[in-house]
Amino acid sequence: MARFDKPVDRRDSDCMKFDGVRALYNKDDLIPMWVADMDFCAPNEVLSALKLKVEHGIFGYPGNLSKYYQAIIDWMEKRHNWRVEQEWIFPAPGVVPAIASILEELTTPNDKVIIQPPVYHPFLNIVKKVGCEVLENPLIYRNNRYEMDYGSLEEMIDERVKVLLLCSPHNPVGRVWNKEELKKLGDICSKYNIIVISDEIHHDLVFPKNKHWVFAQVDENFVDNTIVCTAPSKTFNLAGLQTANVIVPGEKLREKVQHKFSTVYNSFPNVMGIEATKAAYTYGDNWLDELLDYVKGNLEYLEEFIEKNLQPVKVIKPEGTYLVWLDFDEVNTDGLTAFDFVLKKAGVVSEPGEKYGGSTTSIRLNLACHRETLQKALFKIEEAINKPTV
């Protein structure tokens, strides 16, 4: 665990999380806990693979990617018990551009696409940009967790609904949907012939006692109607390498994705992304297990701190991801949104609930940081709530 406790100075590294915040607010002392990347170095094996590539010195077009595909196939089988065939895999420069391209291929303007807010905010923008109508089926907060609303989902479906964007595990509320929940969702989508694009970018980040189900695996009837989006980026902190993989087990959908991707992406990933993916998926198990322990430790620290010192703040306990959704509804925020309150009064940069289609009383906090950073942020939030300056 020691490796995650070693602070890395990210300032002046052209990173959105730290340098972006400084540019935005013109302040040096803010604590950035917003964008979803981690303050941890990638596994040593990944760094070594990248160094080797740099030493080789040639970054020309890649080809014959069988080792790349094999690394993904092995990872999906060993970590997710899903046997993937090589021809099901389509590399893309990110899950977001992949979803956008797929929607362009599968829909025509005026089709409808369902999302389930509060949810990863680009979902809404992508659907609008491809010219489709967004249908929102908000999650319901019940028994201290968010759940999908199957009743309202079925009511809103008509013949113009073509796709549902599923976030699994769910950013920002941290649900790792269980098999029954996914089955209920998939049964409804199958009944109305709706394609499910399942964004599973957080699939490896699951806390003990929870299990991630690849959507296509939940029921054999879902296979032909599902597109699964994955990446090593959240798991191993490689987002800047822009390497994701879309996995399409059904033949008809595969032809459509193949058609689109061959025109927009040339079907090969970034050469550094190839090296990083192979190394991470081949050697990254221990690193990932230690990471999950560390993030879980951060979550437990946060929960205990809030229980002891910040009772009005409600923690929506995540079952996975390194993100936590906090509710400030019972905090006196002087009329500020929860995001503005923690920013202006505590100097902590979070993500605003409303950005995800949630409430202005909610924020999302990124726990993939050193414990010390989390401690400092919580002390500052406590000071802002319990000892407000006049």
Chain positions 78 to 117 lying near ligand PLP, rule: CB under 6 A, are 94-96
User: Binding to ligand PLP by residue 120, rule CB under 6 A?
Assistant: yes
Position among 36, 295, 349, 377 found at the interface with ligand PLP (CB under 6 A): 36
Position among 33, 114, 139, 167 found at the interface with ligand PLP (CB under 6 A): 167
Least Å distance, CB 166 to ligand PLP, is: 10
Nearest residue (beta carbon) to ligand PLP: 94
The partner residues of 113 in beta bridges, in order of sequence, read: 134, 163
Residue 72 near residue 281 (C-beta atoms within 8 A): yes
Pick 167 or 378: Cβ nearer ligand PLP: 167
In this structure, what token pair is assigned to residue 383? Answer: 């000071």
Residue 346 near residue 233 (C-beta atoms within 8 A): no
What residue spans of 9-80 are helical by DSSP H?
21-25, 44-56, 66-80
Position among 114, 239, 331, 385 found at the interface with ligand PLP (CB under 6 A): 239
Pick 235 or 337: Cβ nearer ligand PLP: 235
Chain positions 38 to 57 lying near ligand PLP, rule: CB under 6 A, are none
DSSP assigned state of 173: T
| Alpha carbon distances (Å) from 335 to 157, 275, 314 | 38, 49, 18
Q: Mask 216-235, x = binds ligand PLP (CB under 6 A)?
A: ---------------x-x--
Q: CA 24, CA 19: separation in Å to the nearest integer?
A: 9
Least Å distance, CB 201 to ligand PLP, is: 4
DSSP H or E segment with residue 133: strand 133-136
Pick 233 or 237: Cβ nearer ligand PLP: 233
In this structure, what token pair is assigned to residue 88? Answer: 């099901």
Q: Mask 316-355, x = binds ligand PLP (CB under 6 A)?
A: ----------------------------------------
Chain positions 183 to 212 lying near ligand PLP, rule: CB under 6 A, are 199, 201
Residue 375 near residue 301 (C-beta atoms within 8 A): yes
Q: CA 16, CA 11: separation in Å to the nearest integer?
A: 10
| Alpha carbon distances (Å) from 133 to 101, 124, 126, 130, 168 | 16, 10, 11, 9, 22
Question: With contacts defined by CB under 6 A, how many residues of the chain interact with ligand PLP?
Answer: 13
Pick 153 or 167: Cβ nearer ligand PLP: 167
The contact set with ligand PLP (CB under 6 A) reads 36, 94-96, 120, 167, 171, 199, 201, 231, 233, 239, 244
